[in-house]
């Protein structure tokens, strides 16, 4: 019918907009972008090839009951830790870049946590991250669209 034909055309349009996933290349610089939201987190793994960023993997997850009560900066840092753990097979023994859209998380990830009020949990996360060689870059929230989508749109639709 005409309705079915229109639906198929619309599906084809949507399918063309889906980002293509690329196989990881060992020598390419890896980039992890993360975002946290009230109910969960999202992250993507990209690689830089010929000055173009290619999407390789993505992940997201929901917070447990105690994590939902974390302050925003804690959620942003935990999102980075969880995404790095998820992508660790592509990140171990390689220098990579983490992009976060929370300036406070960027600051905490870049310094020693011994003087922080809730240092125990940050120390644990810092211990996990100590196995990795990375630099951190702050990006504007509107430049973090795919991790943002994975947290807000996708997770809200499933909760």
Q: In what order do the strands lie in the sheet with 133-138?
A: 52-62, 40-49, 29-36, 95-100, 133-138
Question: Where is average pLDDT lowest: 1-5, 103-107, 152-156?
Answer: 152-156
| pLDDT of the residue at 114 | 47
In 3D space, the residue among 67, 90, 77 whose CA is nearest the CA of residue 128 turns out to be 77
Tokens of 63: 């917070």
Mean per-residue pLDDT for 27-46?
A: 91
Residue-range domains of the chain with CATH: 22-158 (3.30.420.10)
Q: How far apart are CA 105 and CA 77, in angstroms?
A: 6
**Per-residue pLDDT reduced to its tens digit, 39-74:** 889 899 999 999 999 999 989 899 999 999 999 888
pLDDT above 50 for 77: yes
More confident residue, 138 or 75: 75
pLDDT in tens, 102-152: 777 767 666 654 455 456 777 788 788 888 999 888 786 555 555 555 555
List Cα–Cα distances, 128 to 53, 123, 133, 149, in angstroms.
26, 9, 11, 26
């Amino acid at each position: 019918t005409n309705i079915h034909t229109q639906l198929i055309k619309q599906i084809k349009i949507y399918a063309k907009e889906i980002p293509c996933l690329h196989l990881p290349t060992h020598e390419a610089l890896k980039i992890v972008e993360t975002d946290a939201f009230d109910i969960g987190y999202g992250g993507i793994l990209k690689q830089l090839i010929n000055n173009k960023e290619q999407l390789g993997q993505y992940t997201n997850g929901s917070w447990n009951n105690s994590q939902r009560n974390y302050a925003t900066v804690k959620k942003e840092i935990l999102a980075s830790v969880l995404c790095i753990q998820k992508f660790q097979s592509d990140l171990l023994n390689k220098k990579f870049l983490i992009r976060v859209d929370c300036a406070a998380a960027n600051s905490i990830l870049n310094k020693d946590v011994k003087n922080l009020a809730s240092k125990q949990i940050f120390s644990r996360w810092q211990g996990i991250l100590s196995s990795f060689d990375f630099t951190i870059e702050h990006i504007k929230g509107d430049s973090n669209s795919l991790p943002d989508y994975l947290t807000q749109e996708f997770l809200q639709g499933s909760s």
